[in-house]
Amino acid sequence: MNERFDALRAALAARPRAKLGFFPTPLYRLDRLSRELGVELYVKRDDFSGMSLFGGNKIRKLEFLLGDAVAKGCDTVFTYGATQSNHAMQTVTACRRLGLTPILYLNAYVQPDEQDIRSNMLLDRIMGAELHVVESLPGETEAQTEARCRELGRVHAVALQGQGHRCYDVPMGGASPVGSTGFIGGYLEFAQQCEELGLKPDYVYTATGTGGTLAGLVAGHRLLGGQEDIVAIAVSPKDTGYEARCAELGNQALALLGEGGRLSAADFTVDRDYYAPGYEQPNEAATKAIRLLARTEGLLVDPVYTGKAFAGLLDHVRTGKIPQGSKVVFWHTGGATALFAEKEILGELTQAD
């Protein structure tokens, strides 16, 4: 295994990379909740990735994405997401660290109140990002609004390039082959930690949105011969082609590291049963999961991503999909800033139970 580790480490080191995060992030056992659930439950704390208090899984991707931007001589970075996007905020943070200008095109799933700007949008403003909030047109789907954001960003970038700027485009969630290499590296880090701890997990659970994190994890898992099952809990609607797109993304990331394509849709397990009623829309199971984890372990997850993913994990334990005595790792991708977002995102968390 050490030879595999060394080879992958060397391949990753050959890619342009910006030093942004504090790695490795902690991996440890949740003792009280393990006793309550009857499984050995561990957490991988990518919410501790840095570089500010508000880190998360996007930092691993941004090390490679913005490393690529710097290597190409870019001075301006465009990216996209919801108004409360963790990815957009972490991109702004990383840009400020590297002296790049961040420009955001954000679609309003939840309409922000200009008199009470909260959470990630507040952080974006404190850091001086150029913000463009794009409202959905009548009859427009979320996908159509997102596409319009990207087109507005493209036109803006063309104009800036005409003025002599060099612009770099980061897709929503950092979900690109370059970004996903960060989570191939993340899986390498995890595998090394497991070896040092003598831990052989049966399952790894994580949230999935745009798919870049999941693609990298599964690619790293396959490359290093991981034996645990990786289970992703969807936080937004996914069509039947989602797994195939994740596989293609993972294969393209592997190709950047000199590895042949080896993933297919069958390598991805995505549970779509826990996101309802929709993205950035709370549900009762996530609310209960957030409270349980907070009250047993003092650990905070959010109502958009990690709360729904943890609700899925809990239900899989309680219904026997995860057998008693199993070793389970919850990959905490960050996002607790959403606990300070608009009440439409928080739902029943704002009320006493």
* Active site (catalytic) residues: 85
3-state DSSP call for residue 167? strand
Q: What's the CA gap between 142 and 136, in Å, rounded?
A: 7
**Do 96 and 18 meet the contact criterion of CB atoms below 8 Å apart?**
no
Q: Can you read off the two tokens belonging to residue 307?
A: 């709360």
Cβ–Cβ under 8 Å, residues 174 and 87: yes
Residue 272 dihedral angles phi and psi, to the nearest 5°: -100, 15
Q: Are 273 and 279 in contact (CB under 8 A)?
A: no
Q: How far, CA to CA in Å, does 140 sit from each of 54, 107, 240? A: 32, 12, 22
Contact predicate 98/73, CB 8 Å: no
Question: 3-state class of 212 per DSSP?
Answer: helix
| Cβ-Cβ contacts under 8 Å for 105 (sequence gap 6 or more) | 78, 79, 80, 132, 134, 149, 150, 152, 153, 156
CA 165 – CA 159 distance, rounded (Å): 9
Question: Euclidean distance between the first and final Cα of the chain, in Å?
Answer: 49
322 within 8 A of 37, measured Cβ to Cβ = no
Phi, psi of 207 (to 5 degrees): -80, 150
How many whole angstroms separate alpha carbon 27 and alpha carbon 39?
16
* Closest to 178 (Cα-Cα) out of 232, 216, 121, 138: 216
